[in-house]
Structure 1
Amino acid sequence: MKSLKRLNKYFRRYKFYLVTGTFFIILSNIFAIIPAQIIRHSFNLVKEAIGLYWSFNGLSSQSFIYEIFASCILFYGILIVVMALLRGLFLFLMRQTIIVMSRHVEYDQKNEIFQHYQSLPLSFYRKNNTGDLMARIAEDVSKVRMYVGPAVMYFINLVTLFVMVIGYMLAVNVELTVYVLLPLPLLSVSIYYVNNIINKRSEEIQRSLSNLSVMVQEAFSGIRVLKAFVRENDSTEKFTQESNNYWRKSLDLSNVNALFFPLIMALVGLSTIITVYVGGLQVMKGNITTGNIAEFVIYVNMLTWPVTSLGWVTSLAQRAAASQQRINEFLDIQTDIISKKNEKPALRGDIRFDNVHFVYPDSGIEALKGISFEVKAGESLAILGTTGSGKSTIAALIGRMYDPAQGGITIDEHNIKDLNVQYLRSQMAYVPQDVFLFSDTVRNNIAFGADKISEEVIQQAIDDADLRENLSRFPEGLDTKIGERGITLSGGQKQRVSIARAIVLNPKVLVLDDCLSAVDTKTENIILNNLQRIMKDKTSVIISHRVSTAKLADKIVILDEGRIVEQGTHQCLMEANGFYKELYDKQLNLDEV
């Protein structure tokens, strides 16, 4: 339960709701107890009035006694209805305070987790899958809300009702109270045991449903592959197996649920029988009245749900503790991508790598080994190399998605670690190799990185990314919805939208990570010619596997297995007759073929 201490700040924040809700709980219980006492007086009145009524049999005053008796019973009935209405009002207010408090806590906690997620470095996302992140911000937070709201509310109700009811019952008759309460602990323990079984089977059902959902999602996302390899029947068979598994687990849960309410009613009935039997003995001894028996029966029914909820509340608290512990595991992870100085100087764009080494923290792979190069403001640098040579790692380090294990990176002679992280990234535009587009319109995807952007700038970016002809074929032009992850676009179209998204920012530093791999040579040349104009007076880092892209740069760096094997201008590297020359000749011959 230590993990739930993290929630104390929310209880302090919303103490008004908690204190007010507790006050309403006390008032609702008072108006629940008063009717029981009214019923006791009513029973005693009926018993005494009937004897008095028949003693005046045949006399004119008998009707007068009946009228008084009837008016008293009517008054008691109206009073009980008024008490019930008042209790209902305070029960409503109780939920409007404590349950509303739990929704506020849920809202705040989800925002806190989401903001914390966004502050964590890329290494965190490489180690944790998206499904687990979603489960903690959705399912685990919901379980915590059930503790903050219903569990706290019913526990407070249980304590206040027990103190008020049992205190009064003991004042009336100790022996009857003890007998009446005997089945209630058994009821609570039974509910706790049954509820644990229900929770366990519910979690199994949730996992089974999750597996079923994942399988269906993968089948629909990869429907092209399924059809291409004629695996529809195999997919259907897997779905049937998962569906049958879910069906069996659901039946197991239904069998347990079938015992839940009969168990409650049996133990409640046992308490009622004990109340009537022991109470009858006490009436014969003259210790209590028949009205007390009726009163105690009402008290037993009043205590049934709070005692029943004790097992449920305990189970909710345990589940919330487990969920909060899972939430705390991620909340306790702190990003190492921080800036102590938080400098925000005006940047020109001079970038320098000085003997940089980098090892991916999750896999231990050494991606860069002693990388050193420099690109002046307004110049362009092309980085070429084979797959896995470390090209994309350099792009990630420039945007400070990671920090180098050794060596230093400076921008305009400022250590990159001294610059405010958000400010640094705001001065750059990054076109990743793996393009990600949001399920939104083309316009909103292009304007994603800017708060406000003019239509003229968007239109110019569309022309520069050679997207105009494609847009003319879209049903709604710029306002066309492109579907989840841009599924309705081809690979080349997605890359061009991503390039336009970077261009509209007019950044100081432009990083292009193999962003033309999916376009044809003609389109590549058009975009490159446009980029030459755009990149003027901007620092550009172009990562590519095509020499045709790299040769336009002021400086070229060749990587192999995390090391620089060659660097220089296109002309110098051609004259060196090394790795670059060999790669150039191969690609030139391929283009000719």
Structure 2
Amino acid sequence: MKQLSTVHKYFWKYRYRFSIGIIFVVLSNYFAVLAPEITGYVVNKVQEHLPGGKPVHGKESYNGIVMLFIKWVQQMDFAKLVLICSITILVLALLRGFFMFVMRQTLIVMSRHIEYDMKNEVYTHYQKLDAGFFKSHRTGDLMNRIAEDVSRVRMYTGPAIMYFVNLVSLIGMCMVNMFSKDLNLSLIVLSPLPLLAITIYFVNITIHRKSERVQSLLSDLTTNAQESYSGVRVIKSFVQENAMLRFFKNNSEAYRKNAVGLAKTEAIYFPSMTLLVGLSTLLTIFIGGKMAIDDPQKVGIIVEFVIYINMLTWPVTAIGSVASIIQRAAASQKRLNEFLHTEPAIKSADSKDETPLSGNIVFDNVSFTYFNTGIKALKNFSLSIKEGEKVLILGRTGSGKSTLAQLLLRFYDPDEGNITIGGKDLRAIPLQHLRDNISFVPQDVFLFSDTVSRNIAFGLTTDPSEEKIYKAAQNAAIHNEINGLQNGYATMVGERGVTLSGGQKQRISIARALIKDPDIMIFDDCLSAVDAKTENQIINNLYTILGKRTAILITHRIFTVLKFDQVIIIEDGSIIEQGTHEELLALNGYYAELYQIQTNQETIS
């Protein structure tokens, strides 16, 4: 219950529905326990009308409402009394059924509301977590926690609570009536219950441990399936279908064995409950039978006890399923709490200042190491970019170019040094405001399974006009190709843009950045899949679009079409060359060598 205490805030949120549901549960059981007393009263009346029968005393032990009912019917003739009692028992059954219906409608529906709130809470928290978190956690595991684990917890907030209140109230009412009728017989009949409690205690410990293991294996299985679906083209191209199937079967087999082991453990509950309830029934009939032989007036009480014991069969049996549901829910909530209690490494500033970001961008002795790999991407890196400048950043793969963009967007914070925009430390700028003012085209393009137009307009808070979308696509040199698609801008691009080529996806991603119209634009090697002619067209368009905006173009190629205010060469996280195009050619270093190689290749082409 320690893990599940996190969920109890929802019971307060839905306290009215929760309270009314409990009242319905109690009312349902109240009408249920009246029937055995009326039945016992009818049996006593039958005893009186048998040859040699004697009046049965002890009516004062009946329930208050039953006593009023008895006073009403006791003056009737025998046939009419039996008829009225039979109709009353039927009405009580109907009332119990009605309150059981509204009980489920109240509590089970409440659990669905809680499930909705929990999924939103988990999803919202996922979005607050930093980029480093998602690098160290698998997508399949995250999906399993928000789907399967939340569903397990819902079973606790709805069915488990309902069954628990039901069994507590029914057992309590039955025991009150039983003790009021015959204390000794009640103690004998209920004597197997301590054995039941001991069984539940030990089995619960095992179920909790196995539930955690099963949920962990299910996450592995989900991850395996998700990666296989996403990478199906790679699997097919390398003819690894059988190998992946074996891998999936191994994971599936491990899950199956542990799930079956858990099911076997849970199966101990039901025969144990049935055995103990059956033992109570046998004791009632055996001991009660002997009592009825000695005193025929106790036949009505024995009949009541037999009915009570049979009424307790389901609630007592439900103890096992309720305990199992709670243990599974606790194991799942523990997994959810691991993420819900994880604080994001990148936290937004409390400031509400939303003035436009402008001014110089300064990297001051910045050092950064990726914690999950230990790779030191930047070492005492310093760079000043004036407002409105166009900067080209060049370097080999792994030199630290992309890290600059991720630090500027605060996907990560530097280990040492500071980054400022217009003299403001990035940590003092609210995250949403910072990222609203920067357009970023990542190296790894991601398109959502939606229409082309909605992918282009993704970064906007309001729906743009068609003309604005068309203009952004034209500037990204993709407008004509979109019109050539089957449904034009309304074409669904498929998961991760699977229906489009690499170059088309990159240009749609560029259009997405352009339509945002920000103060700062960052392009991270976003033209690698584009041919030379289209590349020049996009660069020429950018020359006009960028205007007075600050722009950073990260690449491994030199673009001579666009005049850059600075060209930065990075090697092993440090600047090795810096200057304008002409200045770097005059140095006759890395940049000049790269320019010469690229020029020769273009001449040959």
| Contact 1:349-1:509 at 8 Å conserved across structures | no
- The answer to whether structure 1 residue 230 and structure 2 residue 239 are counterparts is yes
Hey, what's the Cα distance between the residues in 1 that align with 2:263 and 2:381? 63
Partner of 1:427: 437
Q: 391, 394, 412: which one pairs with 2:404?
A: 394
Distance 1:221 1:549, change over 3 A: farther
User: In structure 2, what is the equivalent of residue 462 of structure 1?
Assistant: 473
Q: What amino acid does structure 1 have at the position aligned with 2:289?
A: G
Superimposed CA distance per residue, residues 55-81 of structure 1 (whole angstroms, 9 cap, x where no aligned partner): xxxxxxxxxxxx943322221121111
Relative to structure 2, which stretch is displaced further, 94-103 or 232-241?
232-241
Render the CA deviation track for 1:510-565: whole Å, top value 9, x for unaligned.
Answer: 11111001111111111111111111121111111111279632211110000011
Q: Structure 2 CA distance, aligned partners of 1:388 and 1:128?
A: 23
Q: Secondary structure, in 3 states, of the residue corresponding to 1:582?
A: helix
Residue in 2 that maps onto 1:542: 553
Query: Map of 1:453-532 to 2, 5 A cutoff?
Result: 453-532=464-543
Asked whether the equivalents of residues 349 and 412 of structure 1 are also in contact (C-alpha less than 8 Å), the reply is yes
Offset at residue 124 of structure 1 (A): 1.7
Partner of 2:361: 351
Alignment partner for residue 151 of structure 2, among 132, 142, 153? 142
Question: 1:364-420: CA deviations, max 9, x gaps?
Answer: 322111222222222211111111111111101111222222222221222222222
Whole-angstrom distance in 2 between the partners of 1:209 and 1:330: 17
Other structure's SS at 1:289 match: helix
Which residue is equivalent to 1:298? 307
Tell me whether 251-260 or 549-558 shows the greater mean CA deviation: 251-260
- Cα distance in structure 1, aligned partners of 2:211 and 2:429: 49
Amino acid at match of 1:487: V
Q: In structure 2, do the counterparts of structure 1 residues 252 and 582 end up closer, same or farther at CA, with 3 Å as the change threshold? A: same
Q: What are the Cα deviations for residues 277-314 of structure 1, in whole angstroms up to 9, with x where unaligned?
A: 11111122328521212211111122222222223333
Q: Which residue of 2 aligns with 1:590?
A: 601
Q: Which residue of 1 aligns with 2:570?
A: 559
In 2, Cα distance between equivalents of 1:22 and 1:558: 70
Structure-1 separation of matches of 2:428 and 2:207: 54
Hey, what's the Cα distance between the residues in 2 that align with 1:30 and 1:51?
A: 35
Structure 1 residues 530 and 419, CA gap change in structure 2 (3 angstroms): same
- Look up the SS of the partner of 1:466 in the other structure: coil
> What letter corresponds to residue 561 of structure 1 in structure 2?
D
Structure 2 CA distance for partners of 1:235 and 1:139, relative to 1, 3 Å: closer
CA distance in 2, matches of 1:533, 1:424: 24
Which of the numbers 97, 103, 112 marks the counterpart of 1:88?
97
The equivalent of 2:58 in structure 1 is none
Aligned partner letter, 2:104:
R
Give the alignment of 1:14-33 within 5 angstroms. Answer: 14-33=14-33
DSSP 3-state at the match of 2:578: strand
C-alpha displacement of 1:30? 0.8
Distance 1:236 1:373, change over 3 A: closer
Aligned to 1:183: 192
Q: Deviations over 1:413-451 (max 9, x none)?
A: 222222221111111111000011101111110111112
Equivalent residues of 1:383, 1:550 under 8 A apart: no
* Contact persistence 1:195–1:312 (CA under 8 A): no
- Mapped contact 1:512–1:541 kept (Cα < 8 A): yes
| Offset at residue 116 of structure 1 (A) | 1.7
CA distance in 1: counterparts of 2:3 and 2:272, whole angstroms: 33
TM-score calculated relative to the size of structure 1: 0.90
The structural deviation recorded for 1:254 is: 7.0
Contact 1:378 1:538 in 2 (8 A): yes
Q: CA deviation at 1:490?
A: 1.2
Describe the superposition over 1:124-183 as per-residue Cα deviations: whole angstroms up to 9, x where unpaired: 222222222222222222222222222222222232223221122111112211221123
Moved more, 185-194 or 138-147: 185-194
Separation of aligned partners in 2, 1:403 and 1:21 = 49
Give the aligned length: 580
User: Which segment is superposed worse, 161-170 or 227-236?
Assistant: 227-236
Match of 1:131 in 2: 140
1:406 to 383, 398, 416: 416
Shifted more, 509-518 versus 2-11: the winner is 2-11
- Normalised to the residue count of structure 2, the TM-score between the two structures is 0.88
Q: Alpha-carbon deviation of 1:506?
A: 0.8
Residues in 2 aligned to 1:198 and 1:298: alpha-carbon distance in whole angstroms = 32
SS in 2 for 1:548: coil
Q: What residue in structure 2 maps to residue 59 of structure 1?
A: none
Residue type matched to 1:354 in 2? D
Amino acid aligned to 2:527: L
Q: Distance in 1 between matches of 2:250 and 2:355?
A: 60
User: Given that residues 40 and 295 in structure 1 are in contact (C-alpha distance below 8 angstroms), is that contact kept between their aligned partners in structure 2?
Assistant: yes
Quick one: distance in 1 between partners of 2:287 and 2:340?
A: 56
- Cα drift, residue 362 of structure 1: 3.1
Residues 547, 584 of structure 1: 8 Å contact kept:
yes
Q: Secondary structure at the match of 1:430?
A: strand
8 Å CA contact 2:141, 2:223 repeated in 1 = no
Could you report, residue by residue, the CA deviation over 1:201-231 in whole angstroms, capped at 9, with x for unpaired residues?
Answer: 7776666666555545444444433443334
Please report the RMSD computed on the Cα atoms of aligned residues, expressed in angstroms. 2.7
Q: State the distance in 2 between where 1:244 and 1:425 align.
A: 45
Alignment-derived partner of residue 272 in structure 1: 281
Give the gaps of 5 or more residues in structure 2: 54-75
Residue in structure 1 matched with residue 62 of structure 2 by the alignment? none
Q: Which moved more, 1:386-395 or 1:150-159?
A: 150-159
The alignment partner of 2:33 has SS state of helix
CA distance in 1, matches of 2:247, 2:374: 36
Of 443, 446, 465, which residue of structure 2 is paired with 1:436? 446
State how far apart, in whole Å, the 2-side matches of 1:236 and 1:136 are. 24
Is the Cα–Cα contact under 8 Å of residues 191 and 308 in structure 1 kept in the other structure? no
Residue in 2 aligned with 1:61? none
Stretch of structure 1 that moved more, 459-468 or 396-405:
396-405
Q: Are 2:536 and 2:561, in contact at CA under 8 Å, matched by a contact in 1?
A: no
Structure 1 residues 224 and 408: CA distance shift in structure 2, 3 A: closer
- Structure 1 stretches of 5 or more lacking a match? 54-66
Give the C-alpha shift of residue 276 in structure 1. 1.0
Judge which range, 422-431 or 412-421, deviates more. 412-421
CA distance in 1, matches of 2:350, 2:102: 48
Q: Which moved more, 1:188-197 or 1:367-376?
A: 188-197
Provide the C-alpha distance between the structure 2 equivalents of 1:397 and 1:29, rounded to a whole number of angstroms.
63
Q: Distance in 2 between matches of 1:501 and 1:319?
A: 44
Aligned residue type for 1:49: H
CA–CA distance in structure 2, aligned partners of residues 364 and 538 of structure 1? 35
The equivalent residue for 2:128 is 119
1:389/1:560 contact within 8 Å kept: yes
Contact map agreement 2:22 2:165 (CA 8 A) in 1: yes
